[in-house]
Amino acid sequence: MAYPPTSIGSPPRPLPRASAWAAGLLSALALAAALPALAQVNAPLPVDKAFRLSARALNPETIEARFVIADGYYLYRDRINFSIEPAAARLAVPPLPEGKVKEDQFFGKVQTYRGGLIVNLAVRDAKVGERVVLKVESQGCADVGICYPPNTQRISLVLPAANSAPTRPDEPAKKSWFN
Amino acid sequence: MNKSLRGLLVAVVGVAALAAGVYFGLLRTPDMEGQDGATLLALSLPNAAGVEQSLGQWPGKVLVVNFWATWCAPCREEMPEFVRAQSEYGARGLQFVGIAVDQADKVEQFSKEFGLNYPSLIGGYGAVELSKTLGNRLAALPFTIVVDRQGRIAHTQLGPLKPDKLRAIVDKLL
């Protein structure tokens, strides 16, 4: 061979211009930003995120329990149960509010909650200042066609003395530096 | 390429890959697909009569394992299609098996009412924990696992398995 081959492959390409890189980076960033948002729209939520429970003591004898139910999810009215610990304390649960009536092909007429639910629970025989645990069992489904098994959520709270401000859920006991 | 630009590009691609992983990972549960289904096939659970049944008793068949419950409306909705598919494909080597997150008496009653033509084993609420180890991260129902003739997990699905999709998966494996 007299001469080395002269035209193998393509000639070296000019480096892409900075603006092309910037555009590429921006598209990649947009994609990266959009995907989690898409995932949030489409992917089913973990049960505790689909049905967010919070609770606070309104006074020494009343606990307000609140469910915030994500869009596209619902709880069955007759599968919600409240209980309290310690066993010495008792909970008087009022009739739950009317839900949305759903004609289910299998279960007949059932009531469901969408959006949210607030229930005021009366506490009896608990000591003021005592830490109690509210246990809430619930069962719900998502419109995408999945159901969660009955789920028990627990919220620990302290019953306030009369006339004090309502406590926030899971508020840690205040520690004094002087004790 | 300028070093910092390259670093930025790597970071962006990394974030995009992570986001894509989250996106596709939550919609499907593909991490189990292609894996050996030995853990699943080694399971043994009682049927409604209390007799232990091993999931390994159908070697060489395509197995569709469906986690369900009588209290789960979307589960009940898709089961007539499973009954149809069992009659249609059974002779070609397809075997459905239900694992009920439920009580034996309820499962028995349901099986009679719906004319289930495949076994449904009783897993109780413990079956939910079991399904989590098989890719059901949200622990919700229905959850279905298709195992190929070689005992490998071919498909996992949270939520209803639509008839077209079920048939497409099964046709490929039989």
pLDDT digits (tens, 9 = 90+) for B97-150: 999 999 999 999 999 999 999 999 999 999 999 999 999 999 999 999 999 999
Average pLDDT over residues A29-54: 74
Q: Which residues of A touch B139 (CB under 8 A)?
A: 47, 148-149
- Each residue's pLDDT tens digit, B68-109: 999 999 999 999 999 999 999 999 999 999 999 999 999 999
Taking 90 as the threshold, does the pLDDT of residue A55 lie above it?
A: yes
Q: Where are the domains of chain A?
A: 47-158
Beta carbon pairs, A and B, within 8 Å: 93
Closest chain B CA to residue A108: B73
Place of tokens 């530096």: A177
Closest chain B CA to residue A39: B23
From A170's Cα to the closest Cα of chain B, the distance in A is 25
> In A60-88, which positions are buried (b, 16+ CB within 10 angstroms) versus exposed (e)?
bbebbbebebbeebbbbbeebebbbeeee
Q: How many C-beta atoms lie closer than 10 Å to residue B57's C-beta?
A: 13
Q: Does this complex have an ipTM over 0.90?
A: no
Answer whether A147 sits within 8 Å of B141, measured CB to CB: yes
Q: Assess contact for A133 and A156: CB atoms under 8 A.
A: yes
- Each residue's pLDDT tens digit, A13-22: 554 566 666 6
Looking at residue A109, its pLDDT comes to: 93
Distance between CA B64 and CA B60 in Å, rounded?
Answer: 13
User: 3-state DSSP call for residue B98?
Assistant: strand
Taking 50 as the threshold, does the pLDDT of residue B173 lie above it?
A: yes
- Each residue's pLDDT tens digit, A61-99: 999 999 999 999 999 999 999 999 987 889 999 999 999
Q: Please tell me which of the candidates B20, B71, B158 has its beta carbon nearest to residue A44.
A: B158
Listed residue (A55, A9, A49) closest to A166, CA to CA: A55
Distance between CA A87 and CA A169 in Å, rounded?
Answer: 20
CATH architecture for segment(s) A47-158:
Sandwich (2.60)
Confidence of residue B41 (pLDDT cuts 50, 70, 90): very high
Answer whether B26 sits within 8 Å of A145, measured CB to CB: no
Phi-psi label, residue A9: left if phi above 0, alpha if psi -120 to 50, beta otherwise = left
Answer whether B74 sits within 8 Å of A146, measured CB to CB: yes
Measured CA distances, B47 to B42, B63, B88, B162 (Å): 16, 17, 24, 26
Mean pLDDT of chain B, nearest integer: 88
Looking at residue B23, its pLDDT comes to: 43
Q: Assess contact for A102 and A109: CB atoms under 8 A.
A: yes
Taking 50 as the threshold, does the pLDDT of residue B61 lie above it?
A: yes
pTM: 0.76
Instruction: Determine the residue among A147, A148, A151, A152 to mutate to test chain B binding: the one whose Cβ has the most chain B Cβ atoms within 10 Å.
Output: A147
- Each residue's pLDDT tens digit, A122-149: 999 888 788 999 999 999 999 999 999 9
Query: A122 — contact with chain B (CB < 8 Å)?
Result: no
